[in-house]
Structure 1
Amino acid sequence: MPTLRDASLALAFDHAARSYDALVRANPGYHAHLRRSARRLGRPGGRAPRVLDLGCGTGASTAALLSALPDAEITAVDASAGMLERAAAKRWPDNVTFVHTPAERLAEADVRGPFDAVFAAYLFRNTADPDEVLSAVRDVLAPGGRLAVHDYTLSGKRHHRAVWSAVCTGLLPLTTALGDGALYRHLWRSVIDFDTADLFAARLTAHGFERVRVLPLPGWQTGITHTIVGQVPGEGALA
């Protein structure tokens, strides 16, 4: 089954933005899990850290970062203008900035490091070249900077794959009625076809990240959603 990429994927998210928040509110643990993953970045020591929220969508990951790091300078970016418009329309403190750009073109949008941390929720499996994006993340992180990836990354067990497919199949009639069936079929397949959690952790290691760990999340998403954290070599501002 083909999946959406680049401009076609951004356009699909543009259309889905109007109903996206309502759908994720119906997902048990969605926001709590994002907050838990954000806390796994660590707490700042000394000055307020600079944090890049990569693929912020409608701002759920941005809110999670604010709850964990309320004094951080947060730059939130997304490739979908529709999702970003929904995010920016919400009430935010002055330490949050939104930028419309794909993850692969940060420098073109004047999004430049060094960042003390990068948070990427539901992003890498939707990129055309996850290794290119990992290299870009590595480049903008300060020495000792940390990356936390929050995503549907399956354990590799058949049971967890079956649960994921059952949940997605149950959602398809509703999302199709909303005109977003193609997007949600893509999101289903993007998880099935992407790395398992351990394989994605190996990607981080191959890109020079240290202290790479795969951390589970509770509830129905056990074995389906993970936080994968890693650190750039050096002494960082997060502990």
Structure 2
Amino acid sequence: MPLLRDTALATAFDHGAGTYDRLIAFHPGYHAQLRRSVRRLGLRDAGAVRVLDLGCGTGASTAALAAALPGARIIGVDASAGMLRRARAKSWPPGVRFVHAAAEGLEYAGVRGPFDAVFAAYLFRNLADPDPVLRTVRRLLVPGGRFVAHDYALGGRHADRLIWDVVCRGVVLPLGTATGNRELYRHLWRSVLEFDTAPAFGGRLERAGFEGVRVLPLPGWQTGVTHTFAARRPAAVLGGAR
């Protein structure tokens, strides 16, 4: 069975939006790990910073950004209208807004840079082709702008794959089935197995033109399963940005 992509995946997330926040509550450290990755952006709350939260879902990553950068202007973008309805129903600072758009169609939805930072949680393994989106992210950033991706990406050891399989078979798939969203959570399981390893995604960032790429593990049971990928757009040089 192929992975869900594009419209099929957005529809599956629409269907699962009603129970999504309750399910991630069973995930030990889910919100703490997002906050850790937000801190790895290395931004100070200067009040005027502009941040794109790409693949914001029901707003868990947006909340992490808003807590760390209370004065920032944050645009949360997601392809699932159902997930965005959940996000918009929450209480937000005045600088936060949401846009319904696929990561591949930001310009058509009126999402334009420059941004001081782009944050993307659990997004890139869901894309049919990550490379054009990475190039778009790079273009949207100011010279020297920060990019962080927070995602399930296995470290490459046999033990990492084994841990992910055990967690999915024992927790993720049973919970997904109980909520009537088995197809979505089966996709979650398989999308991680078929995605880049963490070192391979780091290499993908470098090929997309980012510099200072760091592949950083997350603590707890997710070590070797979930990583922060931190990078930046090259700073402007004589003659323009590279």
Q: TM-score, normalised by structure 2?
A: 0.95
Q: Structure 1 regions of 5+ residues with no counterpart? A: none
| Structure 2 CA distance for aligned equivalents of residues 127 and 174 of structure 1 | 24
Read off the aligned partner of 1:205 and give its amino acid letter.
E
Could you tell me how far 1:46 is from its partner in structure 2? 4.8
Could you tell me how far 1:9 is from its partner in structure 2? 0.2
| Structure 2 CA distance for aligned equivalents of residues 68 and 44 of structure 1 | 8
Q: Which residue does 2:204 correspond to in 1?
A: 203
Could you tell me how far 1:44 is from its partner in structure 2? 2.8
Q: Which residue does 2:154 correspond to in 1?
A: 154
Q: CA RMSD in A?
A: 1.1
Counterparts of 1:63-74 in structure 2, within 5 Å, are 63-74=63-74
Read off the aligned partner of 1:227 and give its amino acid letter.
T
CA contact (8 A) 2:50 2:117 kept: yes
| Structure 1 CA distance for aligned equivalents of residues 37 and 146 of structure 2 | 12
* Secondary structure of the structure 2 residue equivalent to 1:142: strand
Q: Which residue does 1:129 correspond to in 2?
A: 129
| Structure 1 CA distance for aligned equivalents of residues 55 and 125 of structure 2 | 11
Structure ranking higher on relative contact order (CA contacts 8 Å, 6+ apart): 1
Could you tell me how far 1:90 is from its partner in structure 2? 0.2
Q: Which residue does 1:140 correspond to in 2?
A: 140
| Structure 1 CA distance for aligned equivalents of residues 137 and 73 of structure 2 | 17
The ranges of structure 1 where at least 4 consecutive aligned residues each deviate by more than 3 angstroms after the TM superposition are none
| Structure 2 CA distance for aligned equivalents of residues 183 and 20 of structure 1 | 11
| Structure 2 CA distance for aligned equivalents of residues 74 and 161 of structure 1 | 35
Read off the aligned partner of 2:107 and give its amino acid letter.
A
| Structure 2 CA distance for aligned equivalents of residues 22 and 75 of structure 1 | 24
CA contact (8 A) 2:70 2:93 kept: no
| Structure 1 CA distance for aligned equivalents of residues 70 and 162 of structure 2 | 38
Q: Structure 2 regions of 5+ residues with no counterpart? A: 237-242
Describe the superposition over 1:100-126 as per-residue Cα deviations: whole angstroms up to 9, x where unpaired.
Answer: 000110011100000010000000010
| Structure 2 CA distance for aligned equivalents of residues 2 and 45 of structure 1 | 42
Describe the superposition over 1:126-177 as per-residue Cα deviations: whole angstroms up to 9, x where unpaired.
Answer: 0111001101111111100110000001100010111111111122123113
| Structure 2 CA distance for aligned equivalents of residues 88 and 108 of structure 1 | 21
2:30 aligned with 1:30, yes or no? yes
Q: Which residue does 1:16 correspond to in 2?
A: 16
| Structure 2 CA distance for aligned equivalents of residues 200 and 185 of structure 1 | 22
CA shift in 2, pair 1:96/1:183, >3 Å: same
Describe the superposition over 1:66-101 as per-residue Cα deviations: whole angstroms up to 9, x where unpaired.
Answer: 122111110000000000000000000110010000
| Structure 1 CA distance for aligned equivalents of residues 185 and 45 of structure 2 | 40
Q: Which residue does 2:178 correspond to in 1?
A: 177
Counterparts of 1:79-118 in structure 2, within 5 Å, are 79-118=79-118
Could you tell me how far 1:36 is from its partner in structure 2? 0.4
